Amino acid sequence: MQRLILRSKNKIAAVSGLLLAAAFIHRWTAGSTAFFEGALIIASFLGVLPIALQAYQALRVKVVTIDLLVTLAVLGALAIKNFEESAIVTFLFLFGAYLEQRTLQKTRSAIKELVEMAPETALKLGEDGEFAEVDVEEVEVGDILLVKTGAKVPVDGTVVAGEGSVNEASITGESLPVAKEKGSTVYAGTILDNGTLHIAAERVGEDTTFSKIIELVEEAQDSKSAAERFIDRFARYYTPAVLAVGLVVWLLSRNVELAITVLVLGCPGALVIGVPVSNVAGIGSGARHGVLFKGSEVMGDFSRVDTVVFDKTGTLTVGSPSVAEVEYYGEDRVEALRYLASVERESDHPLAKAVLTAIGEVETYPVANTEVVKGAGVVASVHGRRVAVGNAALMEREQVKLSPTVKAQAAKLEQQGNSLVLTAVDGELKILMGVRDQIRPGVGAVLARLRRLGVKSLIMLSGDNQGTVDAVSRELGLTAAHGNMLPEDKAQYIKTLIGQGHTVAFVGDGVNDSPSLALAHVGIAMGGGTDVAVETSDVVLINSNLERLPHALGLAKATAQNMKQNIFIAVGVVLVLLASLLFSEWMSMSIGMLVHEGSILAVILNGMRLLRFRLPRLTGRA
């Protein structure tokens, strides 16, 4: 019976409202007092049933809730035959609960939208060579799947055939399509706008990026911040205090109606709901825009950040070296490039891969007598010529003369953060290349936005040499930059900043960043980084989109501000209601309940504004 009553709470509210309306309409038209009072009494008893049950269930676990205040107020109103007040109060309380339920469901819409995006079936390649539709749960790692235009990608995987453009909004928050070809990575829940793809499944079921996003957001929305925990404790003691005040008012005034009205007006409903709805809406809004906040606690810490520390490689820079500048000496450039490509093809060094990518498709020659000079480069016989490829030390060893002009060019490249790759053929310098890890596109705008949002210090830490680090720092205008740092050095630096009173966020993507991510007030991981970094962090930027960082900080600040606004609304309304009761004649129980329910709706709607949060465009100079 109890479950039936509680499940039917919304229906009871509707019936109570109809009885209330019928009572007043009948009174204004027919003037029958008996029908008027009878309808109000039935509405009061019906309405108070679910409220009293909730109060009873809470009392069984030794918790005094708002429901008890309302139950006592309604029973008191019935006892003094104030049937209008009792019926109106129960209806408004139940109707307010219905509105709260509906609006809270909307704040969780991000989760619902994400779940609805999850694919349910996949086209799997069978042993007969044909593709057949199967449930996505039946897909295993290594299976080949077919994705057609307009279909959802069922798992995380790699394209093995075909081309197309994919809408990755469910993962990155960006609606612009991303071109995919053989070797490209695709994610579950994204949509193939056009083309046809064959993909090899790599992560299936709960291991997909999409499933992890849903899991992280659900966990975050279920967590509680320090403000929420404080308000929970506050409400636990506040409700008995209001009961005590009501009793004191009755003992002093012997006015039962006044005491009952105190119970109604003192309900802290808006205070209890205001902070959670802000957090839930903020976390949901972040999830829809490629930012995962791992809990409500993160919002408060992130909103106060004054120092952001970045790892360099893979965070501020792309993470893979590429040729930035090339200088040629001598006439036959094509032949020199052939010699260089022939030697570099034999190496698996990252610099060699960058050089080969820059050269592209050229004819190569057989390589013989290869000699690797540790820390310097490679010397080999190519097409009957002696070819040396490496740094300046190798050129000196091979007695290759470098003119003052070449030395100046090399010094300039090194100052700009390049690693040098020199190529000499038969003792004569032919090519000078500067290879460096390129800065991510848009990083300058990201840093400018962070400064606009109140971040005072932007610091970079890296294991690279100080010259390279300084070059990146100069280009980006960072507050400070430190090179030659091991993971333990980075962690110690974070400790030092915290010890100096800074609120620190650390942004990184690798295993070596995990200690710093864990130590910082807010650890921010690039979503494309290692699993360890993602697990250790407090905030995840999906698909390694650094441009989402200012949005994340702006949203955290907006959420913290929204919480303060909701607390102000909730406390302000209670104080105004109680003051009106004491110092005016117009305040009544039903008016107080109407204002009280209005305040609950106000804080919910205020919180929901976060679902439409957009960071203002960057204008003017940073």
Catalytic residues: 311
CA-to-CA distance for 8 and 415, rounded, in angstroms? Answer: 74
Identify whether the C-beta of residue 195 lies closer than 8 Å to the C-beta of residue 163.
yes
Q: How many CA atoms lie within 13 A of 186 on its CB side?
A: 38
**Residue 532 burial (C-beta neighbours within 10 Å; 0-12, 13-18, 19+):** middle
DSSP letters for 464-484: S-HHHHHHHHHHHT-SEEE-S
If you search the block for the tokens 């403000």, which residue do you land on?
227
CA angle 555, 556, 557 (to 5 degrees): 90
d(CA 151, CA 197): 10
Strand-strand pairing, 504-508 and 367-373:
unpaired
Chain length of the chain = 622
Euclidean distance between CA atoms 154 and 190, whole angstroms:
8
Distance in Å from the first CA to the final CA of the chain: 64
User: Among all chains, which residue has been given the structure tokens 């106060």?
Assistant: 304
Q: Is 461 exposed, middle or buried (0-12, 13-18, 19+ CB in 10 A)?
A: buried
DSSP state of 615: P
Alpha helix (H) residue ranges in 30-65: 33-60
Measured over the CA atoms of residue 221, residue 511, residue 377 and residue 482, the dihedral's sign is positive
Closest to 573 measured CA to CA, from 370, 269, 259: 269
211 vs 115, 171, 395, 438, CA distance in Å? 9, 10, 53, 32
Residue 27's Cβ-side half-sphere holds a number of Cα atoms within 13 Å equal to 15
Of 120, 115, 141, nearest in space to 207 by CA = 141
Alpha-carbon distance of 616 to 611, in angstroms, equals 15
Tokens of 349: 């060094």
Determine contact, residues 450/549, Cβ cutoff 8 Å: yes
